[in-house]
Amino acid sequence: MARKRTIVVVEDEDAIRRGIVDTLRMAGYEPVEAADGESGLEEAGRAGVDLLLLDLLLPKKDGFDVLAELRLVRPALPVIILTARGSEDDRVRGLRAGADDYVVKPFSARELLARVEAVLRRSPERPSPVVRMIAGDTTVDCARREICRGETDRATLSEMEAAILERLAAHAGRAVSREELLSCVWGLRDGTIETRAIDMHITRLRQKLAGSSSDSASEWILTVRGKGYMLGPGVTVITDGESTGDEP
C-alpha cells in the first residue's frame, strides 16, 4: 500500500489552517501544521515531506524568506503559496523565488485540492535521489550501479538499467508506464523507439536481480497489466537518508 503524501501547511490564522488541514486529511493526505515561518521551515525541511503550502504574511519569518531558505536545503520540494496578496508583483516574485503555484485567498477546498493534485502530478519529474535498494540478501548500490550479494557476489548494471530501476524506486507504490520510462529515461517523446525496448531491459534487469530471495514478496519488478511496471512491495528504498517500503 502506497504511503500517504505528507503536506506541510504553514498558516498563522488558526481557522484557515484548521480548514486546510481538515480538507487535506479528508482527501487522503497527511497534513502537518505550522503557525509561523520558523517552525514551518523546520517542518518542511524534514525527510518525507511531499509538498509545502505556504502563507506569505507570517510571524517570526516571512514567507518569502522561508521559501528562499528552503530552496537552499530542499531545492526540489514543491511549494504552493497561499496568500491574500493578489498583486501581479507578488505572484511574479513568489514564482521567481521557486514556488510552483500561487493561490489567492479566499479559495475553495475544491480549488485547493485541484492545485495540490496538479503540482504533485508534476513533482515526479524531480524525485529525491535514490541511494540504494534492498530486498532479501541483495542490495543495489545506485552510485556504483552495482548489485551486491554477500561479500563477493557482484553484478554491474548498465546506465539504462540503473536509470529504469531508479525511476521505479523513486515512484514505489504506483505503476510506471512504458511511455513514461521512454520519456524520462530515454528522453524520447515522439515514439521513435518501440516500447518493446523497455521490456527487453526489464527482462535483463530481472535476470540480474534473480535469486535475491526465495520469498515471492521480495520480487523486484512487478508487471502491472495494461499499465506498466512497479517496484515490488518487498523492496526497501533508501533516499536521502530515509527508508520507505517494507523492511526485508
Res 86: pLDDT: 58
Question: 212 pLDDT band (50/70/90 cuts)?
Answer: very low
State the pairing for strand pair 138-141/130-135. Answer: antiparallel
Q: Give pLDDT tens digits for 24-72.
A: 999 999 999 999 999 999 999 887 788 999 998 899 999 889 998 888 7
Q: Give pLDDT tens digits for 136-175.
A: 888 888 878 889 887 778 888 887 788 888 888 887 888 8
- Angstrom distances, CA of residue 44 to CA of 32, 53, 54, 96, 227: 9, 10, 10, 19, 33
Question: 182 pLDDT band (50/70/90 cuts)?
Answer: confident
Res 187: pLDDT: 56
Q: Give pLDDT tens digits for 90-146.
A: 667 777 777 888 888 888 999 999 989 888 876 654 555 667 899 888 888 887 888
**Res. 246: pLDDT tops 70:** no
Q: What is the mean pLDDT of residues 207-224?
A: 70
Q: How many Cα atoms are found within 13 Å in the side-chain-facing hemisphere of 60?
A: 13
* Residue (of 46, 45, 49, 53) closest to 11 by Cα position: 53
Q: What is the mean pLDDT of residues 184-196?
A: 57
Res 195: pLDDT: 61
**CATH numbers and ranges of domains, the chain:** 6-125 (3.40.50.2300), 130-244 (1.10.10.10)
